[in-house]
Structure 1
Amino acid sequence: MKHQVNKAVFLDRDGVINEVKTDRVKFVNRPEDLYILDGVPEAIKQLNDAGFKVFVVTNQGGVGLGYMTEDELNTIHDHMARELAKQGAHIHEIMACTHAPHENCYCRKPGSQMLLDLIDDYDVDIMKSYLVGDREPDIEAGNAVGIKSLMVVSTHPEAYKSFNDLSEAVEWILEDEKA
Structure 2
Amino acid sequence: MKLLILDRDGVINYDSDAYIKSVEEWIPLPGAIEAIAQLSKAGWTVAIATNQSGIARGYYDIATLDAMHARLRALVAEQGGEVGLIVYCPHCPDQGCDCRKPKPGMLRTIAAHYDVDLIECWFVGDSLGDLQAAEAVGSQPVLVKTGKGLKTLTKVLPVNTLVFDDLAAVAAELINK
Q: TM-score range by the shorter chain?
A: 0.7 to 0.9
* In 1: Cα distance, 2:42 partner to 2:79 partner: 16
Structure 2: which 5+ runs fail to align?
Answer: none
1:140 pairs with one of 128, 132, 143: 132
- TM normalised by structure 1 equals 0.87
Q: CA RMSD in A?
A: 1.7
Contact 1:18 1:36 in 2 (8 A): yes
Counterparts of 1:76-87 in structure 2, within 5 Å, are 76-87=68-79
Q: Give 1:39 shift.
A: 0.9
Counterparts of 1:28-47 in structure 2, within 5 Å, are 28-47=20-39
2:13 pairs with one of 11, 18, 27: 18
Q: Give 1:26 shift.
A: 4.5
Structure 1: which 5+ runs fail to align?
Answer: 1-5
| Counterpart position of 1:171 | 172
Contact 1:8 1:52 in 2 (8 A): yes
Aligned identity (percent) is 35
Task: Count residues in correspondence.
Answer: 168
Contact 1:7 1:126 in 2 (8 A): no
| Counterpart position of 1:3 | none
| Counterpart position of 1:48 | 40
Q: Give 1:172 shift.
A: 2.2
1:74 pairs with one of 66, 70, 94: 66
* In 1: Cα distance, 2:18 partner to 2:28 partner: 14
* In 2: Cα distance, 1:162 partner to 1:74 partner: 30
Contact 2:122 2:139 in 1 (8 A): yes
Contact 1:41 1:88 in 2 (8 A): no
Counterparts of 1:103-142 in structure 2, within 5 Å, are 103-142=95-134
Contact 2:41 2:80 in 1 (8 A): no
| Counterpart position of 1:9 | 4
* In 1: Cα distance, 2:69 partner to 2:136 partner: 26
* In 2: Cα distance, 1:160 partner to 1:57 partner: 18
| Counterpart position of 1:57 | 49
What CA deviation, in whole Å up to 9, does each residue of 1:97-141 have, x standing for no partner? 001121121000001111101101112232432110000110011
2:91 pairs with one of 84, 99, 106: 99
- TM normalised by structure 2 equals 0.88
Deviates more, 1:78-87 or 1:150-159: 150-159
Deviates more, 1:88-97 or 1:151-160: 151-160
What CA deviation, in whole Å up to 9, does each residue of 1:50-107 have, x standing for no partner? 2221101100000011111112111111122112221223111111100112112100
